[in-house]
Amino acid sequence: MRLPCSRRFLSGLPDPHCFEMDPPARPPGGIGVLLVNLGTPDEPTPRAIRRYLAEFLSDPRVIELPPWLWQVILRGVVLPRRPRRLAPRYEAIWLEAGSPLLVHSQKLAGALGRALDTRGLSVHVALGMRYGHPSVEQALLELRGQGCDRVLVVPMYPQYAASTTATAVDAVTATVAGWRDQPALRFIKRYYDEPGYAAALAASARRVWDVHGKPDRLLLSFHGLPRAAVRQGDPYFRDCMETVALVRHALGEDAGLAHVAFQSRFGTQKWLEPYTLPTLRQWARQGVSRVDVMCPGFLADCLETLEEIQIQCREAFLKAGGGEFRYLPCLNGDEAWAGVLADLVARHLAGWVRG
């Protein structure tokens, strides 16, 4: 009795009839770089926002409550109300080309690709969103379609947090878990301490100051995080404070202008302090007249920077008695910053490509 091919293979018995053709030629493997950002609604409408929030707020790394409890709150309270409240805020910042976060992320992806080309690195760059479109899966399929069998994943978060960087890693690994031929994967965990990053932030501030003068204070506003997450071992707060120290160093003689606060609270629990909006109100009441605000935890402008900071915080500061409020944009697709990011990427591609 003749064993099936699979059983003869496992038994160690050769069977020349199992493979009657030469194996197909192996395609030359390409290198991919996957940028991952948080995500955005497809449109500034309640329906699109609801769809986005349903995915975003269902991530257990974002909302660390028992799923059975949180889903009742999410479906019964949050999703019926919050999308309608958010729609006007998204409409106020929406660009002709679409969502600011998506547009600026795409520009950075393009600038990064060009910067890698100038360094002689043949690398394909794709952009994926953890929530929404283009999804992480779509971006990985794009890279696979370009023949990439090695992928470097670059979350667009300079500081590490489980609710941002870790969940981006989750999405990548979950996507390839079902692939028969998986790519080799590498991940960049954080890069707030990349020397050119703090320098780029300081340079963007100086460009404004050289034309319009220096402020009384510069507020470095980071996205908030529940205190409980830090107590449980999340390094985000430490990463943020070290970022502040590096930016102050890059500012040189102007280091004393820089202060720190945390924005975008959600829910009722205690988050990292001081809070951005109350800080700005307090400064205005204390007689601080001119304030600049920068968001070093965001690489691309989005709702939290363009609406929360540039509109809400500005109005609150002026209403409380402040004189001048300026929001300093994120680095976005700045070519010089893309060059810094390209150097970081090149180092992490060591052994895969030669510059």
How high is the pLDDT of residue 195? 87
Are the C-beta atoms of residues 271 and 226 closer than 8 Å to each other? yes
160-171 tens-digit pLDDT? 999 999 999 999
Task: Give the pairing of strands 148-155 and 124-132.
Answer: unpaired
Q: Which residues pair with 37 in a beta bridge?
A: 129
In sequence order, which residues have a C-beta less than 8 Å from that of residue 22 and are 6 or more positions away? Answer: none
pLDDT at 354: 60
Domain ranges in the chain? Answer: 30-191+335-348, 195-328
**Inter-axis angle of helices 335-348 and 100-118, nearest 10:** 60
Residue 235: both structure tokens together = 């390094």
Asked if residue 48 lies in contact with residue 84, where contact means CB atoms within 8 angstroms, the answer is: no
User: Is the pTM here over 0.85, yes or no?
Assistant: yes
Domains 30-191+335-348 and 195-328 share a fold: yes
On whether the 195-328 domain is CATH 3.40.50.1400, my answer is yes
Report the pLDDT value the prediction gives residue 9, as an integer from 0 to 100: 47
DSSP labels for 143-175? HHHTTEEEEEEEES-SS--IIIIIHHHHHHHHH
- pLDDT, residue 8, reads 46
State whether CATH 3.40.91.10 applies to domain 30-191+335-348. Answer: no
Element (H, E) at 152: strand 148-155
- Cβ proximity of 309 and 263 under 8 Å: yes
Positions in the chain short of pLDDT 70: 1-20, 25-28, 354-355
| Radius of gyration of the chain, Cα coordinates, nearest whole angstrom | 24
Scan for tokens 């220096």, then name that residue: 214
Distance CA 286, CA 180 (A): 62
